[in-house]
Amino acid sequence: MISGLDHVQIAAPPGCEDAARAFYGELLGLHEVPKPAPVLARGGVWFELADRRELHIGVERPFAPALKAHPALRVDSTAALEALASELARAGHEPRWDQDLPGVTRFYVDDPFGNRVELTLGRA
């Protein structure tokens, strides 16, 4: 039986590592974790979230950004979500606020590779 979610992988182009570290590591504050030796040569970067689940940025050839499919990363407070939106905007990643789901405060932003990422406070 399935007991939970271990990780999510999104694609990025070859040579993505520095931009992934800047966006996911520095801007979003995710902690980078070492990739196991057998997959290190494939490129990409792995990050760990506070709940110990992981977000893997994997190299894909040819690369096409995910415009609809996306990870949704939960933020722990309204103040933190708003601060993150401001920080992303200052860095050139304009947040797109969405109010389509009742009780959910969220916005979408594109990572440096054009993939859609959701930042959400979650359901009220």
Give the CATH number for residue 58: 3.10.180.10
Note whether residue 1 is domain-resident. no
C-alpha–C-alpha distance, residues 119 and 95, integer Å: 9
3-class secondary structure, 23: helix
pTM for this entry:
0.94
Note whether residue 17 is domain-resident. yes
Note whether residue 104 is domain-resident. yes
C-alpha–C-alpha distance, residues 95 and 116, integer Å: 10
- The boundaries of the domain holding residue 99 are 7-123
Three-state secondary structure string covering 18-80: HHHHHHHHHHCCCEEECCCHHHHCCCCEEEECCCCCEEEEEECCCCCCCCCCCCEEECCCHHH
Q: Look at residue 123 and tell me whether its pLDDT is greater than 80.
A: no
Note whether residue 2 is domain-resident. no
Instruction: Give the model confidence (pLDDT) of 3-16 as tens digits.
Output: 999 999 999 999 99
Note whether residue 30 is domain-resident. yes
Note whether residue 85 is domain-resident. yes
Structurally, how many domains does the chain consist of? 1
Instruction: Give the model confidence (pLDDT) of 49-66 as tens digits.
Output: 999 999 999 999 999 999
Share of the chain above pLDDT 70, in %: 98
